Copies of this chain bind each other. A is one copy, B any other.
Amino acid sequence: MSAKTARQKWLPALPILDWGRRYNQDKLTGDLLAAVIVTLMLIPQSLAYAMLAGLPPEVGLYTSIAPLVLYAIFGSSRVLAVGPVAVVSLMTATAIGDHAVAGSQAYWAIAITLAFLSGAMLFIMGILRLGFLANFLSHPVISGFISAAGLLIAAGQLKILLGVSYMGVTANGDNFFAQMASLAQQIPHIHALTFTVGTLTLIFLLSIRIGLKPLLTRLGMSPKTATTLARIGPVVAIVATIFLTYIFQWQTQGLKIVGSIPQGLPPFSMPLWDLSLWKELALPALLISIVGFVESISVGQTLAAKKRQRIEPDQELVALGASNLSASFTGGFPVTGGFARSVVNFDAGARTPAAGVFTAIGIALAALFLTPMLFYLPQATLSATIIIAVLSLVDFSILKKTWRYSKSDFAAAIITLLVTLIINVEIGLLVGISVSLALYLYRTSRPHIATVGMVPGTEHFRNVLRHDVLVSPKLVSLRVDGSLYFANVRALEDSVNEAVATHPQLQHLVLQCSAINDVDASALESLEAINQRLSDAGIALHLSEVKGPVMDKLQQTDFLRDLSGQIFLTHYQAIHELVPEIQR
């Protein structure tokens, strides 16, 4: 029994054994319908995000097959739809940009290696149960980062939409403001036909998103079905622009098209076994892993909660790790769970991860048979679909909200946003994490320490600065509102020193410990030093209202033995005994 438990703890679980055993006709119907709709949504997204990552479009299709199957085996979410997503694709482009030219074979090989490293990291983090690491990415940092990434992506795609740049040469990693400036300079060189096709697609997609849903709802369709239908808008845009380009042969007039895409299933691929490359890719791979994990788990949790289900963060790491590893062996780039896609999967009635397997089959069929039809697909159409998709990422409401609620959260959000826009996604994320941790540590390093006095006629004690309370020149009571640890214990020393310096007749100092949940070794040493210093100055140090667990810990130490004063159960007892002249 215990051997089995140990094995269960160290080996990744296989949720498929759970839901697979209870699979039935009813679930099959729901999964199949959802898979058809997600496949229709995923085909244009795969092509577009491959392009955004600087890779040939077919790589997008390759990346949407094996990872889905692996997620179905290991994933703990019933409805999460994995595959290429916008932010991770941008991060991929940024990570590879310094090493190879977008569109080249070398670039693709590095993308495969990045998927391998990211997959290996996620898998190992899952096995070691390090899912908690993602907790150190605060909401303001994530929001600032995602908004900035959305703006960076839109800026890059705008160039393709205007016909001043094209697939594979978009500088995704650039400074946002520099990109906008160069865009402004290039306005005279806009390619009219590309601009027309791109802009009309954009308007069409926007009006579908804004207008179709209310229209369908008014025609009596359920809001969920209407939303799902609106999500397939890009397929219509793609079919229409392919058809028009074919009819009018617009590519002869300079419209950039996708061109010939190799037909067939994903190739077997291997990461580059190059340690120096691995070292350079390690940090980007880690950041991609963490961002992908956070994105995936937040949508997974939201959807699971709607059906009173749970997802297991460490199991999700294993599943995303396996997905990315499978991507690296089938010519793919980093993947994660996509928000819009998973919501559509959920709304369309997916019941089990089998829907992901059916979607993978759908994409495989597309890779086998559909690619010749994509020859005439204008790149501007794909750019328009990307721009529409990332517009929903850009959301400055966090700035307004945190500005009102908490200035330090606001600082974390705005710094992440600006550094990501001005430098790049990697530095932006790292600076954001550092700033949010630094601000948290700064806050905890200044605990609230109040000098308290007795409320007349009661046994209660309150801050002397806020209330009219009884005090004595012989005794000072200090209350620390927080646990004591190395970074905040100096604040206590300062308060004690100040109390001593301002009370020449001081004989007793009482620490009211009711809010102290923990005392670390540094704080213990400081308490010993405070006790020693007070004792040298002829002042006794007393403690009151020490919590049980803290008392247990202190009892193993010399501090209590050397304590010059006493320990009181209640603060009132301390005052009553030490300065009986203060009457309540």
Contact = CB atoms under 8 A, between A and B. Distances in A.
Interface string A282-321: 0000000000000000000110111111100100000000
Interface string A390-432: 0000000010011011101110000000000000000000000
Nearest to A134: B490
Given A136-B486, A445-B132, A445-B135, A305 B522 contact: no
Contact of A486 (B135, B517, B536): B135
B521 A486 contact: no
A215 interface: no
Interface stretch (A99-107, A468-476, A492-500): A492-500
A170 interface: no
A525 interface: yes
A469 to B, nearest CB: 18
Contacts of A553: 405-406
A410 B137 CA distance: 27
Contacts of A486: 135-139, 436, 440
What is the interface of chain A mostly: helix, strand, loop, or mixed?
A: helix
Interface in A501-552: 501, 504, 515, 517-518, 520-522, 524-526, 529, 533-534, 536-537
A482 interface: yes
Contacts of A406: 520-521, 553
Nearest to A307: B537
Nearest to A439: B520
A302 B525 CA distance: 13
A440 B484 CA distance: 11
Contacts of A518: 443
Contacts of A437: 437, 441
A306 B409 contact: no
Contacts of A524: 405
Given A490-B132, A501-B310, A409 B302 contact: no
A554 to B, nearest CB: 9
A442 B406 CA distance: 23
A46 interface: no
A150 to B, nearest CB: 18
B487 A308 contact: no
Contact of A533 (B137, B138, B306): B306
Contacts of A521: 138-140, 398, 401-402, 405-406, 409-410
B135 A501 contact: no
A359 to B, nearest CB: 25
Interface string A58-86: 00000000000000000000000000000
B306 A139 contact: no
A553 B401 CA distance: 12
A509 to B, nearest CB: 12
A488 interface: yes
A276 interface: no
Interface string A547-566: 00000010011000000000
Contacts of A408: 520
A497 B445 contact: no
A485 interface: yes
A347 interface: no
A525 B139 contact: yes
Nearest to A410: B521
A405 B556 contact: yes
Contacts of A140: 521-522
A37 to B, nearest CB: 22
B308 A501 contact: yes
13 contacts: A135-B486, A138-B520, A139-B526, A305-B534, A306-B537, A307-B537, A313-B490, A398-B521, A405-B524, A409-B520, A440-B486, A482-B517, A515-B517
Interface of A: 132, 134-140, 301-302, 304-310, 313, 398, 401-402, 404-406, 408-410, 436-437, 440-446, 481-482, 485-491, 493-494, 497-498, 500-501, 504, 515, 517-518, 520-522, 524-526, 529, 533-534, 536-537, 553, 556-557
Given A138-B487, A405-B557, A406-B520, 4 more contacts: A136-B487, A307-B537, A402-B521, A405-B556
Which 10 pairs show the lowest CB-CB distances between chains A and B?
A138-B486, A305-B533, A409-B521, A139-B522, A138-B522, A310-B501, A135-B487, A135-B490, A139-B525, A310-B497
